[in-house]
Structure 1
Amino acid sequence: MKEDLLHFIWRYQKFSPNNLKTTTGLALQVLSPGFLNEGVGPDFSNAKIQMDELFWIGP
């Protein structure tokens, strides 16, 4: 899969958000995909993800 396609899928949430789970079976919800970073560093910044009761907010 080309990186541009993966960026498109993530940015516009072109996947089913229902019943997402981690590889260990924790419930997963993408609250916000963040913003595409066109500079150095992570591909997206400020994503908001919830895993069970834990909230992750990216750099």
Structure 2
Amino acid sequence: MEECPRCGWPQTEVYEVLSRHLTSEGVVSYTRCACGEMQVRVQPYTPGAVVTAGHEPPAPG
């Protein structure tokens, strides 16, 4: 499991989604870790998958 290099927060548990954008390559998400570290994630398109972009509320805590 990958972890944030700064604080060890599991990268599979997104703390906060700042923005999400559809691109020709897939969905690009700008996220923030619990420690404040910014991350850019790319989720490639999967044939037959429904892809949406939007804002998710921050995780409780």
Per the TM superposition, whether the score is higher than 0.5 is no
TM-score, structure 2 length as denominator? 0.35
TM-score, structure 1 length as denominator? 0.36
Answer 1 or 2: higher relative contact order, Cα 8 Å, separation at least 6: 2
Higher strand share: 2
Higher helix share: 1
